[in-house]
Amino acid sequence: MQKAHDIDYRIYGEEMQYVDIELDPGETAMAESGAFMMMDEGVQMQTIFGDGSQQQGGGFMNKLFNAGKRLLTGESLFMTAFTNAGQGKKRVAFASPYPGKIIPLDLYELEGKVVCQKDAFLCAARGVSIGIEFQRRLGTGLFGGEGFIMQKLEGDGMAFVHAGGHVFQRVLHEGETLKIDTGCLVAYSRTVSYDIQFVGGIRNSIFGGEGLFFATLRGPGKVWIQTLPVSRLASRILAYGTVNRKEEGSLLGGLGNLLDGDGR
Protein backbone atom coordinates (compact mmCIF):
# COMPACT_ATOMS: atom_id res chain seq x y z
CA MET A 1 0.00 0.00 0.00
CA GLN A 2 1.36 3.42 -0.99
CA LYS A 3 2.27 5.54 2.04
CA ALA A 4 2.97 8.89 0.38
CA HIS A 5 0.11 11.10 -0.80
CA ASP A 6 -0.85 10.31 -4.39
CA ILE A 7 -0.66 13.72 -6.07
CA ASP A 8 -1.34 14.70 -9.68
CA TYR A 9 0.82 17.29 -11.40
CA ARG A 10 1.65 19.14 -14.61
CA ILE A 11 4.86 20.97 -15.54
CA TYR A 12 4.61 24.25 -17.47
CA GLY A 13 7.16 26.42 -19.26
CA GLU A 14 10.41 25.98 -21.14
CA GLU A 15 13.45 27.71 -19.59
CA MET A 16 11.82 28.90 -16.35
CA GLN A 17 9.44 26.10 -15.44
CA TYR A 18 6.95 25.58 -12.65
CA VAL A 19 5.11 22.50 -11.46
CA ASP A 20 1.38 22.72 -10.78
CA ILE A 21 0.22 20.11 -8.24
CA GLU A 22 -3.41 19.08 -7.82
CA LEU A 23 -4.41 18.13 -4.29
CA ASP A 24 -7.47 16.15 -3.30
CA PRO A 25 -9.05 17.04 0.07
CA GLY A 26 -6.57 16.18 2.82
CA GLU A 27 -3.59 15.73 0.50
CA THR A 28 -0.34 17.61 1.21
CA ALA A 29 2.69 18.69 -0.81
CA MET A 30 6.01 19.58 0.84
CA ALA A 31 8.38 22.23 -0.52
CA GLU A 32 11.63 23.97 0.27
CA SER A 33 11.48 27.53 1.52
CA GLY A 34 11.31 29.93 -1.41
CA ALA A 35 9.86 27.47 -3.95
CA PHE A 36 6.20 28.54 -3.52
CA MET A 37 4.60 30.44 -6.41
CA MET A 38 0.78 30.39 -6.02
CA MET A 39 -2.12 28.39 -4.56
CA ASP A 40 -5.90 28.20 -4.58
CA GLU A 41 -8.04 29.42 -1.73
CA GLY A 42 -8.57 26.55 0.68
CA VAL A 43 -4.93 25.42 0.66
CA GLN A 44 -3.34 25.90 4.08
CA MET A 45 0.37 26.54 4.67
CA GLN A 46 2.21 25.21 7.70
CA THR A 47 5.93 25.48 8.52
CA ILE A 48 7.31 22.27 10.04
CA PHE A 49 10.61 20.71 11.08
CA GLY A 50 12.12 18.46 8.43
CA ASP A 51 10.08 16.90 5.65
CA GLY A 52 6.97 15.76 7.52
CA SER A 53 7.44 12.11 6.58
CA GLN A 54 6.17 9.33 8.79
CA GLN A 55 9.79 8.34 9.52
CA GLN A 56 10.18 11.38 11.75
CA GLY A 57 8.05 10.32 14.67
CA GLY A 58 9.30 10.04 18.21
CA GLY A 59 8.86 13.50 19.62
CA PHE A 60 10.28 16.97 19.21
CA MET A 61 13.96 16.13 19.72
CA ASN A 62 13.89 13.37 17.10
CA LYS A 63 12.25 15.71 14.60
CA LEU A 64 14.82 18.38 15.40
CA PHE A 65 17.68 15.90 14.88
CA ASN A 66 16.32 14.78 11.50
CA ALA A 67 15.71 18.37 10.42
CA GLY A 68 19.18 19.39 11.60
CA LYS A 69 20.86 16.91 9.27
CA ARG A 70 19.43 18.95 6.39
CA LEU A 71 21.69 21.85 7.36
CA LEU A 72 24.63 19.82 6.04
CA THR A 73 23.07 19.88 2.57
CA GLY A 74 22.66 23.67 2.67
CA GLU A 75 18.91 23.54 3.26
CA SER A 76 16.79 25.11 5.98
CA LEU A 77 15.73 23.42 9.21
CA PHE A 78 12.16 23.96 8.10
CA MET A 79 9.94 22.96 5.20
CA THR A 80 6.49 24.19 4.25
CA ALA A 81 3.46 21.89 4.02
CA PHE A 82 0.63 22.84 1.66
CA THR A 83 -2.58 20.97 2.54
CA ASN A 84 -5.95 20.99 0.81
CA ALA A 85 -8.21 21.82 3.76
CA GLY A 86 -11.22 22.66 1.61
CA GLN A 87 -13.76 20.86 -0.54
CA GLY A 88 -12.94 19.60 -4.02
CA LYS A 89 -9.60 19.66 -5.78
CA LYS A 90 -7.17 22.52 -5.11
CA ARG A 91 -3.92 23.52 -6.80
CA VAL A 92 -0.56 24.75 -5.57
CA ALA A 93 2.39 25.67 -7.79
CA PHE A 94 6.16 25.77 -7.22
CA ALA A 95 8.64 27.60 -9.45
CA SER A 96 12.17 26.74 -10.51
CA PRO A 97 14.85 28.97 -8.92
CA TYR A 98 16.94 29.51 -12.09
CA PRO A 99 16.83 28.56 -15.82
CA GLY A 100 16.64 24.84 -16.35
CA LYS A 101 14.21 21.95 -16.08
CA ILE A 102 12.05 20.36 -13.39
CA ILE A 103 12.46 16.58 -13.26
CA PRO A 104 9.55 14.48 -11.95
CA LEU A 105 10.68 11.37 -10.06
CA ASP A 106 8.21 8.59 -9.32
CA LEU A 107 9.95 6.91 -6.38
CA TYR A 108 7.60 3.93 -6.54
CA GLU A 109 8.89 3.11 -10.04
CA LEU A 110 12.47 3.92 -9.02
CA GLU A 111 12.56 1.27 -6.25
CA GLY A 112 12.03 3.73 -3.42
CA LYS A 113 15.19 5.85 -3.53
CA VAL A 114 16.99 8.47 -5.63
CA VAL A 115 20.21 10.30 -4.66
CA CYS A 116 20.49 13.90 -5.92
CA GLN A 117 22.68 16.98 -5.62
CA LYS A 118 22.18 18.83 -2.34
CA ASP A 119 20.53 21.88 -3.97
CA ALA A 120 18.36 19.98 -6.49
CA PHE A 121 15.23 19.17 -4.43
CA LEU A 122 12.19 21.38 -5.14
CA CYS A 123 9.05 19.71 -3.71
CA ALA A 124 7.40 16.34 -3.09
CA ALA A 125 4.27 14.58 -1.93
CA ARG A 126 3.93 14.27 1.83
CA GLY A 127 5.40 10.97 2.95
CA VAL A 128 8.56 11.29 0.88
CA SER A 129 11.61 11.43 3.15
CA ILE A 130 14.30 13.99 2.28
CA GLY A 131 17.52 12.99 4.02
CA ILE A 132 21.28 13.18 3.66
CA GLU A 133 23.51 10.79 1.72
CA PHE A 134 27.20 10.64 2.66
CA GLN A 135 29.54 9.09 0.12
CA ARG A 136 31.42 6.46 2.09
CA ARG A 137 34.62 6.18 0.09
CA LEU A 138 37.63 8.16 1.33
CA GLY A 139 38.50 9.61 -2.07
CA THR A 140 34.96 10.86 -2.52
CA GLY A 141 35.01 12.57 0.85
CA LEU A 142 38.38 14.27 0.38
CA PHE A 143 38.07 15.35 -3.24
CA GLY A 144 34.45 15.03 -4.31
CA GLY A 145 33.48 18.67 -3.82
CA GLU A 146 29.87 19.00 -4.93
CA GLY A 147 29.42 15.23 -4.97
CA PHE A 148 30.38 14.37 -1.39
CA ILE A 149 27.30 15.37 0.62
CA MET A 150 24.12 14.70 -1.35
CA GLN A 151 20.41 14.40 -0.67
CA LYS A 152 18.45 11.16 -0.73
CA LEU A 153 14.76 11.02 -1.56
CA GLU A 154 13.05 7.92 -0.20
CA GLY A 155 9.49 6.65 -0.30
CA ASP A 156 6.86 5.68 -2.83
CA GLY A 157 5.45 9.05 -3.92
CA MET A 158 6.28 11.79 -6.42
CA ALA A 159 9.28 14.09 -5.90
CA PHE A 160 10.50 16.94 -8.06
CA VAL A 161 14.07 18.15 -8.49
CA HIS A 162 15.42 21.07 -10.49
CA ALA A 163 18.54 21.21 -12.67
CA GLY A 164 20.21 23.89 -14.81
CA GLY A 165 20.43 24.25 -18.58
CA HIS A 166 19.53 21.24 -20.71
CA VAL A 167 18.68 18.13 -18.67
CA PHE A 168 18.65 14.57 -19.94
CA GLN A 169 18.50 11.01 -18.64
CA ARG A 170 21.09 8.31 -19.29
CA VAL A 171 20.31 4.62 -18.71
CA LEU A 172 23.37 2.60 -17.72
CA HIS A 173 23.43 -1.13 -18.32
CA GLU A 174 25.03 -3.67 -15.99
CA GLY A 175 28.74 -2.83 -15.62
CA GLU A 176 28.55 0.23 -17.92
CA THR A 177 30.59 3.18 -16.61
CA LEU A 178 30.07 6.91 -17.13
CA LYS A 179 32.58 9.62 -16.12
CA ILE A 180 31.05 13.03 -15.47
CA ASP A 181 31.88 16.39 -13.91
CA THR A 182 30.64 16.31 -10.31
CA GLY A 183 28.60 19.49 -10.81
CA CYS A 184 26.85 18.16 -13.91
CA LEU A 185 25.46 15.17 -12.03
CA VAL A 186 21.87 15.84 -10.93
CA ALA A 187 20.68 12.50 -9.58
CA TYR A 188 21.00 8.73 -9.89
CA SER A 189 18.88 5.73 -8.95
CA ARG A 190 19.70 3.46 -6.01
CA THR A 191 21.27 0.68 -8.11
CA VAL A 192 24.01 2.97 -9.52
CA SER A 193 27.39 2.90 -7.73
CA TYR A 194 29.14 6.27 -7.32
CA ASP A 195 32.80 7.13 -6.80
CA ILE A 196 35.33 9.93 -7.44
CA GLN A 197 38.27 9.38 -9.79
CA PHE A 198 41.45 11.41 -10.32
CA VAL A 199 41.74 12.82 -13.86
CA GLY A 200 45.41 11.79 -14.11
CA GLY A 201 48.33 13.30 -16.01
CA ILE A 202 50.25 16.41 -14.94
CA ARG A 203 49.20 18.44 -17.98
CA ASN A 204 45.55 17.45 -17.58
CA SER A 205 45.63 18.42 -13.92
CA ILE A 206 47.39 21.77 -14.30
CA PHE A 207 46.39 23.00 -17.76
CA GLY A 208 43.20 21.14 -18.55
CA GLY A 209 40.89 23.90 -17.35
CA GLU A 210 38.62 21.36 -15.64
CA GLY A 211 38.50 19.90 -12.15
CA LEU A 212 41.12 17.44 -10.91
CA PHE A 213 38.44 14.84 -10.21
CA PHE A 214 35.29 13.58 -11.84
CA ALA A 215 32.43 11.36 -10.77
CA THR A 216 32.41 7.75 -11.93
CA LEU A 217 29.02 6.05 -12.12
CA ARG A 218 28.60 2.37 -12.80
CA GLY A 219 25.33 0.73 -13.84
CA PRO A 220 22.81 -0.64 -13.86
CA GLY A 221 20.45 2.25 -13.27
CA LYS A 222 19.38 5.72 -14.34
CA VAL A 223 21.43 8.92 -14.21
CA TRP A 224 20.14 12.49 -14.69
CA ILE A 225 22.62 15.04 -16.07
CA GLN A 226 22.56 18.84 -16.37
CA THR A 227 24.57 21.05 -18.73
CA LEU A 228 24.66 24.14 -16.48
CA PRO A 229 25.33 23.56 -12.75
CA VAL A 230 24.25 26.54 -10.67
CA SER A 231 27.77 26.79 -9.18
CA ARG A 232 29.24 27.19 -12.68
CA LEU A 233 26.62 29.80 -13.60
CA ALA A 234 27.29 31.77 -10.41
CA SER A 235 31.08 31.72 -10.88
CA ARG A 236 30.78 33.01 -14.46
CA ILE A 237 28.45 35.83 -13.42
CA LEU A 238 30.76 36.75 -10.53
CA ALA A 239 33.82 36.76 -12.78
CA TYR A 240 32.08 38.88 -15.40
CA GLY A 241 30.91 41.44 -12.86
CA THR A 242 34.10 41.82 -10.83
CA VAL A 243 36.97 41.47 -13.33
CA ASN A 244 37.78 43.92 -16.13
CA ARG A 245 37.43 42.16 -19.44
CA LYS A 246 40.53 41.77 -21.60
CA GLU A 247 39.78 42.91 -25.15
CA GLU A 248 41.95 42.31 -28.22
CA GLY A 249 42.57 46.04 -28.69
CA SER A 250 42.14 48.84 -26.19
CA LEU A 251 40.38 51.19 -28.64
CA LEU A 252 37.88 48.63 -29.94
CA GLY A 253 37.47 47.19 -26.48
CA GLY A 254 36.60 50.57 -25.00
CA LEU A 255 34.12 51.23 -27.80
CA GLY A 256 32.50 47.86 -27.17
CA ASN A 257 32.11 48.64 -23.47
CA LEU A 258 30.40 51.93 -24.31
CA LEU A 259 28.02 50.21 -26.75
CA ASP A 260 26.96 47.52 -24.28
CA GLY A 261 26.50 49.98 -21.43
CA ASP A 262 29.73 49.34 -19.55
CA GLY A 263 31.21 52.81 -19.53
CA ARG A 264 33.76 52.37 -16.76
Euclidean distance between CA atoms 77 and 239, whole angstroms? 31
CA distance 166 to 15: 9
User: Above 60 in pLDDT, residue 179?
Assistant: yes
pLDDT digit string, tens, across residues 119-172: 899 999 999 988 888 765 545 444 444 446 788 999 999 999 999 999 999 999
Q: Which CATH homologous superfamily contains domain 8-228?
A: Mitochondrial biogenesis AIM24 (3.60.160.10)
Q: What is the pLDDT of residues 236-251, one digit of tens each?
A: 777 777 655 554 444 4
Taking the model in full, what pTM does it have?
Answer: 0.78
The DSSP bridge pattern shows strands 193-198 and 149-154 to be: unpaired
What's the half-sphere exposure (Cβ side, CA atoms, 13 Å) at 56? 23
What's the pLDDT band for 52 if we cut at 50, 70, 90?
A: low
For the chain, the farthest-separated pair of C-alpha atoms sits apart, in whole angstroms, at 71
Q: What percent of the chain has pLDDT over 90?
A: 48
Q: pLDDT at position 76, please?
A: 59
What pLDDT was estimated at residue 236? Answer: 73
